[in-house]
Chains A and B, each alone.
Chain A
């Protein structure tokens, strides 16, 4: 069964450093997402991406964050200068459909745990 994969599973970095979190969505999917979950808190939407551009972003997704689909398979989240409060589990998700469908099931990856020291 196709699945979303994410690397690395755990990333430890120093405050102020740049990190890139990588995701390989399901191959025929068109919509890509990043979410994050701070330990013990809700899963929060960060950004959605379609047709090589951002569809929507949350208030969390400020100028320190960027996303890219550098080739036909990878989808990356970059944090330019990490802060302590960026420590969280970051989930990538992908989906196949359009808004006209009755559902738009999102398939989530296993997550990357980011620890900022």
Chain B
């Protein structure tokens, strides 16, 4: 899977929007961009995914650059419960059996201040 680069940590205030960046300059045409998060002492949790177009769901929005070399996860109003490590993961749906595993990087540790 292509590599992603994320800041080690970010800080936000409660009730404010948070923009978590991810760079993936070597992304291929068949790579989907997935975001997972891991709350303290819990297993990872799916957040959102996309291919080319921006995506919205109840948890977050995903903004994908036109050249697809970067993306941004947007939490519209951060809450204390959003404090977690956020992982940006590329998955090539055409890579056969290896498609199914998730390859986690170090992610971005988001701290939310009250």
Q: What range describes how many residues of B lie at the interface?
A: 20 to 34
A-B CB pair tally, cutoff 8 Å: 69
Over the window 14-44 of chain A, the binary record of Cβ atoms lying under 8 Å from chain B Cβ atoms (1 yes, 0 no) is 0000000000000000010101000000111
Q: Which of A58, A101, A102 has the most CB of B within 10 A?
A: A102
Over the window 88-113 of chain B, the binary record of Cβ atoms lying under 8 Å from chain A Cβ atoms (1 yes, 0 no) is 00010111111111111110000000
Report if A75 contacts B (CB, 8 A): no
- Chain A residues with a Cβ closer than 8 Å to the other chain, count: 29
* Given contacts A45-B103, A108-B44, A111-B43, A56 and B51 within 8 Å (CB-CB): no
* Given contacts A33-B101, A43-B104, A56-B101, A102 and B49 within 8 Å (CB-CB): yes
Q: Which residues of A contact B (CB under 8 A)?
A: 4, 31, 33, 35, 42-45, 48, 50, 55-56, 58, 91, 93, 95, 99-111
